Amino acid sequence: MAVDDSVLLRTEGHTGYITLNRPQALNALTHAMVRTVDRALATWEQDPAVEVVVLTGAGERGLCAGGDMRAVRADALAGGSASLDFWRDEYRLNARIARYSKPYVAVMDGIVMGGGVGVSAHGDVRIVTERSKVAMPETGIGFVADVGGTHLLAQAPGELGTHLALTGSAVGAADALLCGLADHFVPSRRLAELTASLAELDVTEAVGRCAEPAPEGELARYRTWIDDCYAAGSVEEILDRLLDRGDPAAKEAAETILSRSPTSLKVTLAALRRARELGALEPVLDQEYRVSCAAFSSPDMVEGVRAQVIDKDRRPRWSPAELAQVTDADVARFFAPLHERELGLGAAREPGIARGRGLGLAGGRGA
């Protein structure tokens, strides 16, 4: 199998191993990487010698920091469309992972953000460690949660997903487990043992040998104010409730939200609420593709990436600058049909397909 240097592929025992290999860029995904992973999965799915697939990231800083937003910004400034092709293939890969017919084990060690969530959190067995920092941080760069992120966050207990989507905050192992973004905690010192044992052992046995209770998280004790505040019907009302709560953590959440793109916040809330109604992953990915295409041509995405990634001055100039200036029509534009350019995953999905997660392991979760 042809190998792109940015993705390392190998087989050992009954397992196929995929390693994202851009450690200098926190393994940020390029279009070539997406295509390589997709080809590997398609090939291994037809290979009876490969019974399990394991995803890891090179280096010790993280599995994957997301898509290459520098390249996306440059494409937008040049008036190109390569990013739209990238997202089309990336979202199709996310759907493939979610419906893969063989156990797919994702090692979510270190930073796992945006596109990194897309290639891991749709898998069967999602492993987090004490170093894990899992996030969908798109509102901070003038973008909107994608790669099936609105599907995952819409399924989180109560309004935890809304909190994570609007703030873009990263969570550790216990909170990733609580929110349904991961299945098992394995200390980083045992990852080598785990990945090696997956070449020979049954997935349930291999993970069972290494999994431990996760250290205590934070979100469980905030559930009361999170569920109450984020159940509001608008971003403005959510902010009012957070600021009126009298809880320092709620105030901090409000301040974080106020620093995000007003347009991204309103579109994100609408996307999450719509994702709950859509239910299945594929129609949500279709919706996210429409939203991403619209965001690509909006000023906030270019400005947000400049402020957070390029210049790193952390002082984005959002347009519009205030929530009150973002109209319902502005939000609706992000969900407009793309007609012949639609992603079309929802229409192609066979009815009745469903898949559990966790493979029956203690601590795993159902679909």
- The verdict on whether 67 is a catalytic residue reads yes
CA distances from 63 to 54, 92, 111, 335 (A): 12, 20, 6, 31
Phi and psi dihedrals of 336, rounded to 5? Answer: -65, 140
Task: Choose, from 68, 75, 90, 146, the residue flagged as catalytic.
Answer: 146
Distance CA 272, CA 290 (A): 14
Distance CA 40, CA 322 (A): 45
Nearest to 56 by CA among 196, 195, 206, 203: 195
The phi-psi region of residue 333 (left if phi > 0; otherwise alpha if psi is between -120 and 50; otherwise beta) is alpha
Task: Choose, from 16, 57, 66, 67, the residue flagged as catalytic.
Answer: 67
Task: Choose, from 115, 140, 172, 364, the residue flagged as catalytic.
Answer: 115
CB-CB contact of 136 with 168 (8 Å): yes
> In whole angstroms, how large is the CA radius of gyration of the chain?
20
Give the 3-state secondary structure of 213-237.
CCCCCCHHHHHHHHHHHCCCCCHHH
Which residues lie below 8 Å from residue 149, measured CB to CB, with a gap of 6+? 114, 117, 118, 136, 138, 165, 288
SS3 184: strand
Phi and psi dihedrals of 23, rounded to 5? Answer: -60, -30
- The verdict on whether 366 is a catalytic residue reads no
Distance CA 166, CA 267 (A): 10
Distance CA 67, CA 75 (A): 13
Place of tokens 């990238």: 86
Task: Choose, from 75, 90, 124, 138, the residue flagged as catalytic.
Answer: 138
CA distances from 70 to 30, 151, 249, 310, 358 (A): 11, 25, 32, 7, 35
The phi-psi region of residue 103 (left if phi > 0; otherwise alpha if psi is between -120 and 50; otherwise beta) is beta
Q: Which residues are part of the catalytic machinery?
A: 67, 115, 138, 146
